[in-house]
Amino acid sequence: MSESTVAELAKRFERGVSDVDELVAALEAAGINDRVAARRYGQPTVFALGEAVLARLEQPPARAPRPKPYVWAALRRSALLLTPVACALAAADEVARVGWAVPALAAVLGWAAARGRVYAAAGAPLVATACALAPASVVGPAGDRGLALAVGLTGYALVAGLGAGLRWAVPAWVAAGALLAGAGDRVEVLPLAAAPMLAGALLVRERAPVTGVVAALGQGALAVLVWRAAPDAAVLALGVPLLVFVVCWHEARAATAADAHDDLRAFHREVRDLGTVTVGALVPPLVAGVALGAAAYRLPYQISGHPGARGLVLSGAAVLLLGGVLALTALLVARARPVVAAVVAAGPLSALAAGGTLLPATVAALAVTYLVGLMLAAHAVFDPERY
């Protein structure tokens, strides 16, 4: 029996019938005989079809679930993403005294560890061992392993704690705000403020599959690549969490898409509308990023003569494209495509093999990966089987 066609018949005859005999008469008057009932509706007779339609009419109308609120979830996730950035700005002098590999390792391992407490517990010893055994050239110009260990573990705790919740990040925000406002100069409070975030991560019960952790490692490595290629774009990176709203909105709508409609065609229409809005929201960052990348080589004379102007424009393009690629990988993971998400996240890393300046190669690799990832994400979000 086709549920969708029975539902259509129930809607068609929802008024004007009082019992099964009257309904069968109405069905026969509409040209539905036993053969049509068996072939089209999977019922042996018109009388059986009438009973199925009447049972459908007597059911109370299902109350479609409302999509979950997403604005607060997006704001909370954005604040969590900005927590390590705020603390890094507050301890900029200390971070500058260690090698870039130390915060990079902490960020990559921390991002993967945010997927579950098992990974959070395993990552901290790896960071500590790396800081203890790394060559002096990797630790930093000052060769201070104690400082490198403090920066590495603090950064790891801040990033690994992103999966714990915003309440665990309150001490980190208070400490970073006080340091940035000049209310204190004891940067040693940052490790203590970051400890609750790591503790919260160790209490998280969820454990992501290995494929999800691999995708997270690729996302972290991609963020480090853009940070190294465009070090002057730290402030522009504050705009990256804006795309979190797109992902949170999609997740909130997708969570109720399958239950909001009992009609198959209505469900497909809901998926189509959801996919159209989601993909449409991710097109402008791609267009803007490509436009900025092209404009960097055609700057007006007054601007092109300014030292670093081209690099700043390319940095803006890299940050825009980075946010879009990270959003695409998050969508692919949400739609049960973690392997594809890992491939998309690793795509821009091909810029490391390109000759010449790293920043232009990174922008080009991000643009190509963004375009390919957008097509792959579109295939996933428009597929009803993924909901």
Condensed to tens digits (0 to 9), the pLDDT of residues 118-131 reads 788 888 899 999 98
What are phi and psi for residue 116, nearest 5 degrees? Answer: 175, 160
Distances (CA, A) of 23 to 43, 45, 128, 246, 320: 15, 13, 76, 47, 60
Q: At what angle do helices 189-203 and 145-160 cross, to 10 degrees?
A: 40
Q: Is the pLDDT of residue 174 over 90?
A: yes
3-state secondary structure 148-170: HHHHHHHHHHHHHHHHCCHHHHH
**What is the predicted pLDDT for the residue at 2?**
44
Quote the CA–CA distance of 167 and 215 in Å, as a whole number.
26
**What is the predicted pLDDT for the residue at 212?**
80
pLDDT tens digits, residue range 276-332? 999 999 999 999 999 999 998 887 756 666 667 888 888 889 989 999 999 999 999
Reading the block at residue 10, the tokens are: 């129930």
For residues 186-202, give the mean pLDDT. 91
Phi-psi region of 149 (alpha: psi -120 to 50; beta: other; left: phi over 0): alpha
Q: Is the pLDDT of residue 94 over 80?
A: yes
pLDDT tens digits, residue range 1-22? 444 466 677 676 666 566 677 7
213 or 197: whose pLDDT is higher? 197
Q: Model-level pTM? A: 0.75
Is residue 314 a contact partner of residue 293, using CB atoms and an 8 Å limit? yes
Q: Is the pLDDT of residue 336 over 80?
A: yes
Lowest mean pLDDT among 76-90, 201-215, 368-382: 201-215
Quote the CA–CA distance of 260 and 366 in Å, as a whole number.
37
Length of the chain as a residue count: 387
182 or 193: whose pLDDT is higher? 193
Reading the block at residue 176, the tokens are: 């970073």
For residues 357-365, give the mean pLDDT. 90
- Please state, for a pLDDT cut of 70, what percent of the chain lies above it: 84
DSSP letter for 321, please: H
What are phi and psi for residue 298, nearest 5 degrees? Answer: -135, 45
At residue 205 the predicted structure's pLDDT band, cuts being 50, 70 and 90, is: low
Tokens 């009973």, residue? 51
Reading the block at residue 325, the tokens are: 């690629």
Is residue 90 a contact partner of residue 180, using CB atoms and an 8 Å limit? yes
At residue 239 the predicted structure's pLDDT band, cuts being 50, 70 and 90, is: low
Core vs surface per residue 229-238: b (16+ CB within 10 A) or e: bbeebeebbe
Distances (CA, A) of 135 to 124, 139, 145, 150, 152: 19, 7, 10, 17, 15
Is residue 49 a contact partner of residue 27, using CB atoms and an 8 Å limit? yes
Q: Is the pLDDT of residue 333 over 80?
A: yes
**What is the predicted pLDDT for the residue at 61?**
47
